[in-house]
Amino acid sequence: MAVSTSGKAKWYRWTDVPREDVSERLARRLITGDRVMLAHVYLKKGCVVPRHSHENEQFTYILEGALQFFIGADGAEEVVVRAGEVLHLPGNVPHEARALEDTLDVDVFSPPRQDWLDKTDAYLRKK
């Protein structure tokens, strides 16, 4: 994890950012600033991100693959987001995601996800 709070510009190369294997089917790399977090998220086909919500506003930009989202408390709104597409999730909106194929996405969070930084995101770490 790289955090820049010095007020100076900082340059990153994704391959230099440590990769965290969160579960068998999900890994990520994090870059965090003062008020925003950028993450590369690697999901293997069939990976399920269980329904959850968070205060953080989220953009999910799919670089490779496809994710099927179920949005809302009952998961009634279904959206498939494919390579080159972006999904915006306002804060506190419940959502679940399923990888329809091996997927690489860029997630942007504001403010940064503290549970990801301190590894208290148990909903992702279940086997």
Give the per-residue pLDDT at 1.
54
Q: Residue 6: pLDDT band by 50, 70, 90 thresholds? A: low
**pTM higher than 0.85, yes or no?**
yes
CA–CA gap between residue 69 and residue 47 (Å, rounded): 12
113, 10 Cβ separation under 8 angstroms: no
Q: What is the DSSP letter of 67?
A: E
**Nearest Cα to Cα of residue 65 among 49, 83, 80:** 83
CA–CA gap between residue 97 and residue 81 (Å, rounded): 10
Give the per-residue pLDDT at 3.
57
What are the C-alpha distances in Å from 28 to residues 54, 56, 75, 101, 126?
18, 17, 25, 17, 15
Q: What is the DSSP letter of 53?
A: -
Q: Residue 92: pLDDT band by 50, 70, 90 thresholds? A: very high
Q: Which CATH architecture has domain 26-125?
A: Sandwich (2.60)
C-alpha angle with apex 63: 114 to 20, nearest 5 degrees? 40
What is the tens place of the pLDDT at every residue in 74-84? 999 999 999 99
CA–CA gap between residue 90 and residue 54 (Å, rounded): 9
